[in-house]
Every structure is written in C-alpha cells, then in structure tokens.
Amino acid sequence: MKDKIHLILCLAALTVQPLWAGDKEPTHFNIEEKIRAIDLSVTLRLYEKVRMEIMEIEFEVRVPKLNEILTKDQSEKKFTQMIDRMQSLEAYAHELKTKAKKLAVGSAVEKVK
C-alpha cells in the first residue's frame, strides 16, 4: 500500500514539475531589463553631472571672482565662452533627459509584458 502511495506521489510530482518550470521567464528578458536599468542609471548620473556643471557656470556668471582682474575684452570673451558652454551643456542635458525618459518607458513596458 505504501509503495502505491509513493508511486502515485512520484508520478504526480513528475507531471506537475514541468508546469512549475514553465513559470519562469526566459533569462534573456531579465538580462535585457538589467541592461536597460544600468543604461538608465548611467544616463541619470551623467544628466546630474551636466546639470551641476550648468549650475556652476551660472553661479560664476552671476558672481564673478573678486580676485580675478580682467580687461574689458577679456571679460567679454570669457563671458561669451561661458554662455556658449552653458548652451551646449543645456542641449546635451536635454538629449540625456529624453534618453532617460525613453529608457524608463521601455523598462515599464517590459515589466507589463
């Protein structure tokens, strides 16, 4: 009698086991999701760095260094360079922001699937 019960339990376990194994998603989805998360993290860190650089330039434009003695031409040239750099960084920050949003949306779509 015990042997029959053991046999039935073993057969039941063997028939249910493939169903349990089928619950896992293929690993390539997990890898893609992880890569997307890494890309998003790196993009956000770079975006933060660019925004900090912009803020530092804005601060320097608004509060010039007191010990720096420049001629009028040098001052105008430096101001123009700083504004150009700030505009370039603003454009780059916008690109990074757009990329981060796309990565975040892609990550959310993967989780829904």
pTM: 0.65
Within-domain flag for 105: yes
Give the tens place of pLDDT for each residue, 80-112. 999 999 999 999 999 999 999 999 987 665 555
Buried b (16+ CB within 10 A) or exposed e, 41-78: eebbeebeebeeebeebeeeeeeeeeeeeeeeeeeeee
Within-domain flag for 7: no
* Least confident segment among 13-27, 34-48, 68-82: 13-27
Name the token pair of 81: 């360079």
pLDDT for residue 89: 97
Residue 24 CA to residue 18 CA, distance in Å, equals: 11
Within-domain flag for 15: no
Within-domain flag for 17: no
pLDDT for residue 5: 66
Within-domain flag for 40: yes
Within-domain flag for 13: no
Q: Which helix (H) or strand (E) holds 51?
A: helix 27-62
Within-domain flag for 101: yes
Report helix angle 72-112 to 27-62, nearest 10.
160
Mean of pLDDT values over 53-79:
85
Within-domain flag for 108: yes
Number of domains in the chain: 1
Compare 22 and 5 and report the one with higher pLDDT.
5
Residue 63 CA to residue 88 CA, distance in Å, equals: 21
pLDDT for residue 74: 86
Domain that holds residue 55: 25-112
